[in-house]
Amino acid sequence: MKKNTVVVIGAGNIAQMFDDVEGDAVLTHIKGYKQHPAFDVVGVCDARLDLAAAAAERWLIPHFAATLGELAYLKPNVVSICTPDHTHEAYLRECLAVLNPAPNLVFCEKPLANNLEAAQSLVTEYEQRGILLAVNYSRRWLTEFLELQEIIQNGGFGSVISARIKYYKGFIHNGSHLIDLLQMLVPSELVGGVILSSVNDYTPDDSTLSLSCLMKPTEQKMTNDVTVMIEGYDSRIVTPIELEIICEQAQILLTERDGTYVSIGQRRENSRYPGFFEFSDVQTRLVDASQAMIRAIAALAEALENGSSLSSTGATALTTLNLCTQMRSLPMVQSSIFHYS
């Protein structure tokens, strides 16, 4: 079988540093490709040449360079973009400009770009040129969340009533992960809302926001408006990652604390106080988050080989960025109580 040749842009954490060469877990792009028989990583580049050289030596990659242009002669048909958020747009454009022939697929960390207009133009250009564009909103690759998506959207828990998100360190950088997951589970459009607070714990153009919103589901089987509370926390104090969804018949809770857990509680009448209802009989499932990269790389191989659909694409990431952009444009509550520096 002819392998897909891969060049990885970036040699930092998500590119390769989160992984041990000998360990079982697969958390990074390079290790994910190295462990799949359909791919051959032929080069890695980084603006810091020392990082690229170290990654090449560590993972036995034959070529390294400071820029993608220096590796263009390798003619990769897959490119992974694993660089800081603000550089994604430039590298997505560079893949089209300096690689001839253009790659068949680009796998990019989120977000696509720092602004909606740039992301829209990129998604359009990739579609027009027939290049697959995958985005690593990692939870979309996990079987457990795909199963939840089917149950929720088929009404298995009754109508969705509300959702609550807890996150830290940048509305786009970290908050968009859970907003994207909520969009996957409960596709919705923004009706209105307010920003409650803004914390500057990441970058000047990506504050950590808290919001109260009303969302209207776009799936035909989902008719109720959904109240959404988004709580942004100062990462210098506490770093929670949670998504709670309340349905008529169940409570779904995703938490990350030394592992990813999904808990589902069933609505029951309180045995001592008739007429009062609570969520009990809670079943908690540990999700192997390292499977996200394994399944993502496997999905890329299937898409290249058989034209299979991808769970997280430029189009789905664009929908999430559009929603995040609308939310960031909401009015802020004018009270000193809610302002932090």
pLDDT in tens, 78-109: 999 999 999 999 999 999 999 999 999 999 99
How confident is the model over 216-230, as a mean pLDDT?
A: 87
Helix (H) or strand (E) holding 260: strand 260-269
Domain 4-137+293-308 class in CATH: alpha beta
CATH 3.40.50.720 residue ranges in the chain?
A: 4-137+293-308
- For 96, residues 6+ apart whose C-beta sits below 8 A from its C-beta are 102, 125, 126, 129, 131
Sheet containing 105-108: give its strands across: 64-65, 39-45, 4-9, 78-81, 105-108, 132-135
Which one-letter amino acid corresponds to residue 129? R
User: What are 148-168's pLDDT values in tens digits?
Assistant: 999 999 999 999 999 999 999
- Residue 1 pLDDT level (bands cut at 50, 70, 90): low
Q: Is cis: bond before 111, omega within 30 of 0?
A: yes
Going by C-alpha positions, the residue among 175, 211, 19, 1 that lies closest to residue 85 is 175
The residues of the chain that CATH labels 3.30.360 are 140-288+321-338
User: How does residue 335 score in pLDDT terms, banded at 50, 70 and 90?
Assistant: low
- What is the topology classification, in CATH, of domain 140-288+321-338? Dihydrodipicolinate Reductase; domain 2 (3.30.360)
Provide, rounded to the nearest whole percent, the portion of the chain with pLDDT above 90: 92
pLDDT digit string, tens, across residues 107-132: 999 999 999 999 999 999 999 999 99
Residues in the chain: 341
Question: In terms of pTM, does the model score above 0.85?
Answer: yes
